[in-house]
Amino acid sequence: MKITLPDQSVKEYAGSATPRQVAREISEGLANAAVAAKVNGRLVDLDHTLTEDASLAIITKRDEEYVSVLRHTASHVMAQAVLRLYPNTKLAIGPFIENGFYYDFDFESPVTMADAAKIEAEMAKIAAEKLPLTRFLLPRDKALEEMRDQPYKQELIRDLPEGEEISFYTQGEFTDLCAGPHLASTAEVKHFKILSVTGAYWRGNEKNKMLTRLYATAFTKKQELDDYLLQLEEAKKRDHNKLGRELELFTTSDVIGQGLPILLPKGARVVQLLQRFVEDEEQKRGWLLTKTPFMAKSDLYKISGHWDHYKDGMFVLGDEEKDDEVYALRPMTCPFQYQAYLNRPRSYRDLPLRYNETSTLFRNEASGEMHGLIRVRQFTISEGHLMCRPDQLEDEFRRCLDLCMFMLKTIGLQDDVSYRFSQWDPNDRAKYIGTEEQWDEAQGMMKRILDHLEIPYKIGIGEAAFYGPKLDIQIKNVHGKEDTLITIQIDQMLAEQFNMEYTDKDGTKKRPYIIHRTSIGCYERTLALLIEKYAGAFPTWLAPVQVKVLNITDRTDKTCSEIMEKLQ
Amino acid sequence: MRAEYDDRNEKIGYKIREAQMEKVPYMLVVGDREAEEGKVSVRFRKEGDIGTMTLEDFITRITEEIVSKRLP
């Protein structure tokens, strides 16, 4: 077995080894400072058994990974504190996450943020007790016995491969099922804070019981914690879901429903300005506006594949078993614009044919996903579908990307985005239409284009649309949660499904390539991001009210009225 | 231009604070002196008071900002 260290030096072992052993061989000092190890990029315990070739890094307090280990241990300290205060609580899971950690609990009686201070005080006690953390392994039957009072843990144990030794960590009276790694002592968990209490379904499945999730964070230094808490306060002030309501840009109504925001006059004004700007710019760039229906018979979605691949995400009108015809609200515009393409025979001279539409779409997202203007069930988006010949594809893709970049630059978001090349997952064929060859071809082509344009992208496996790969332009909201703002997709499958063709120069019938694209993201989401970016103070061209005239005294009332007339 | 007139019988400081809370980019304050001189006293969000100018000069300034879609 070969173990490659960060400096690329290689250590060879005849049998197995542990990171602790490797660290000791490097130096006694390193072994003493070590808190965890990273094997092939994954954090593991120092006593993790290495049996195969791997890359290995020893993590000490100086490494940035240290804080993740600290947070993981802090999650155990929080669970221990919870059990001391509420002994009949059932424990679910408690991982570290970016910027913090959480633990999901099934409490006997509700726990809220009002209880946070009490839990924090108990955590401080546990830290002061300087309890050592020790790891031990048990076979499955003993592991189930160990967790006899913890049904969620037992469920997790049963899911682990049979015959595998199961890892536990103990600190004082508290034991948790856990793969680790952890710090050696609770003493290091000094600077922490419980941030919020929310609901979370067991295993993220809404059919399961709703548990209580305590979000918290921990840092190595007090200053770092204070800075982070201040940053969170600032983010809260910018949160569009709060500020957007205060500024009367939007509201929601229980009787209308979740994920269905109401744009108030000021918010509607901003969206109207954005839409006019986008439609004008798209017209300048050769896009032809269509207006297509908001709903269609199931027949259309059966051809497009949405009925088989996306039905759960659609609002279906009618009952398939009883009614002759069933309709569904549209979740995207593509199949509608394809019908426009099919309106008459097309020749190679008609291409590229660029259709755009300011399109209202409906998607039945899970209710737990709803968030202000960012996660909604009805939204309006500047969609476009472009039919072209193979020789036009790269240039047209570039022009679509250029359109998106122009939009982002105009609204000032161009430096806040990152790129994701979303590909299919060949091991999950049922999710997609088309053959392996078609996917390889479409993805290969997209890769060449992106590399040629020097787009710095990350690859997302399994994130493609069911009909083709995507370039997703991603953006984070004030809370650091990432969403897709803009997407550009290459598709050769749907032209086939819809039997779209054109007559080429030589008289033969060919399938066009299709590019699906948005240009500014859905307007609700873009409005949300602009609220957060500018803390509500929009660029003057977008401000719902640009000028306010204020009189100091009634004597200037007439002058002010004249000024108003000239301004308007 | 999208303009509003706050003619309420409130103190000017109060009206300014409220317009700031609403994140309105420009405020035109008009008292006896401004009315007499045919000028407006302009406040621009973060920068605050940017001086008095004729309404025509103000319109030139804001129009340029709107047309160029200038970012804050």
Among A532, A533, A551, the strongest candidate for a mutation testing the B interface, having the largest count of B CBs within 10 A, is A551
B7 domain residue, yes or no: no
pLDDT band at A1 (very low <50, low <70, confident <90, very high): confident
Kindly report, as residue ranges, where domains of CATH 3.30.930.10 are found in chain A.
250-537
Portion of chain A with pLDDT greater than 90, in percent: 74
Q: Is residue B2 part of a domain?
A: no
A561 to chain B: which residues are within 8 Å by CB? Answer: 5
| Fold category of A66-238 in CATH | Threonyl-tRNA Synthetase; Chain A, domain 2 (3.30.980)
Helix A66-85, helix A116-128: angle, nearest 10 = 110
Chain B residues whose CB is inside 8 A of the A247 CB are 22-23
B-chain CB neighbours of A559 within 8 Å are: 30, 34-35
List where CATH 3.10.20.30 sits in chain A: 2-59
**pLDDT tens readout for residues A204-259:** 888 899 999 999 999 999 999 999 999 898 888 899 999 999 999 999 999 999 89
Q: Pick from B23, B31, B72: which is nearest to A553 by CB?
A: B31
How far is A469 from A440, CA to CA, in rounded Å? 10
Query: Is the predicted pLDDT of residue A368 greater than 70, yes or no?
Result: no
The per-residue pLDDT for range A86-129, each reduced to its tens digit, is 999 999 999 999 899 999 999 999 999 999 999 999 999 999 99
A141 vs B15: CA distance, rounded Å: 72
Take residue A459 and report the two structure tokens written for it. 């690859």
- The dihedrals phi and psi of A306, each to the nearest 5 degrees, come to -60, -35
In a domain, B20, yes or no: yes
Chain-chain contact of A563 with B40 (C-beta, under 8 angstroms)? yes
pLDDT at A480 over 80: no
Full residue range of the structural domain in which residue B38 is found? 12-67
Across the interface, whether the CB atoms of A551 and B26 are under 8 A apart is answered: no
| Neighboring chain A residues of B16 at a CB cutoff of 8 Å | 550
Which residues in A lie closer than 8 A to residue B25 (C-beta atoms)?
537-538, 540, 543, 546-547
Q: Could A548 and B40 be called an inter-chain contact, meaning their C-beta atoms sit closer than 8 Å?
A: no
- Portion of chain A with pLDDT greater than 70, in percent: 100
Position A47 confidence tier, pLDDT thresholds 50, 70, 90: confident
A223-227 long-range Cβ contacts below 8 angstroms, 24+ apart? A224/A191, A225/A191, A225/A192, A225/A193
* Closest-CA residue of chain A to B66: A541
Q: Over 90: is that where the pLDDT of A41 sits?
A: no
Of B19, B32, B65, nearest to A540 by CB-CB distance is B65
- Angle, nearest 10°, between helix axes A393-411 and A265-284? 150
The pLDDT of residue A328? 96
- Tell me how far apart the alpha carbons of residues B29 and A295 are, in angstroms, rounded to a whole number: 51
Tell me: the pLDDT tens digits for A385-440? Answer: 999 999 999 899 999 999 999 999 999 998 889 999 999 998 888 888 888 988 99
Query: Sorting pLDDT into bands at 50, 70 and 90, what band is B18?
Result: very high
Distance CA A342, CA A367 (A): 37
According to CATH, what is the number of the domain A2-59?
3.10.20.30
Position A241 scores a pLDDT of: 93
Instruction: Report the run of H or E that residue A454 belongs to, with start and end.
Output: none
Taking an 8 Å cut-off on Cβ atoms, the answer to whether B24 and A567 are in contact is no
- According to the model, what pLDDT value does residue A163 have? 82
CA distance B49 to chain A (A): 13
Preceding amide of A352 cis, omega within 30? yes
Residue A445 banded pLDDT, cuts 50, 70, 90: confident
The CATH superfamily holding the domain A250-537 is Bira Bifunctional Protein; Domain 2 (3.30.930.10)
**Residue A478: which pLDDT band, with cuts at 50, 70 and 90?**
confident
Residues of chain A with CATH 3.30.980.10: 66-238
Which residues in A lie closer than 8 A to residue B26 (C-beta atoms)? 540, 546-548
Q: Which residue of B has its CA nearest to A531?
A: B23
CA distance A227 to chain B (A): 25
Quote the percentage of chain B above a pLDDT of 90: 93
Interface of A with B (CB under 8 A): 247, 269, 277, 410, 412, 534-541, 543-557, 559-561, 563-564, 566-568
User: Quick one: pLDDT at residue A441?
Assistant: 87
Residues 48-67 of chain B whose Cβ lies under 8 A from any Cβ of chain A: 55, 59, 62, 65-67
Number of domains forming the structure of chain B: 1
Binned at pLDDT 50, 70 and 90, residue A8 comes out as confident
The mean pLDDT of A469-483, rounded to a whole number, is: 87
**From CA A379, how far away is CA A375, in angstroms rounded?**
9
Identify the pLDDT of residue A259: 92
- Inter-chain contact A550–B22, Cβ cutoff 8 Å? no
For residue B72, list chain A residues with Cβ-Cβ distance below 8 A: 534, 537, 539-540
What pLDDT does residue A529 have? 93
**Per the domain annotation, does B6 fall within a domain?**
no
The mean per-residue pLDDT over the stretch B67-71 comes to 95
Question: Tell me, what CATH number does B26's domain have?
Answer: 3.40.50.800
Structure tokens at B68: 């160029």
CA distance A450 to chain B (A): 29
The answer to whether A355 touches A324, Cβ cutoff 8 Å, is no
pLDDT of residue A514: 95
Residues 6+ apart with CB under 8 A from A31: A20, A23, A24
- Closest by CA to A314, choosing from A366, A374, A362, A360, is A362
| B62 contacts A540? CB cut-off 8 A | yes
Q: Which of A538, A545, A553 sits opposite B32 (nearest CB)?
A: A553
| pLDDT given for residue A94 in this prediction | 94
| C-alpha A181: how far from chain center | 26
How far the first Cα of chain B sits from its last, in Å, is 18
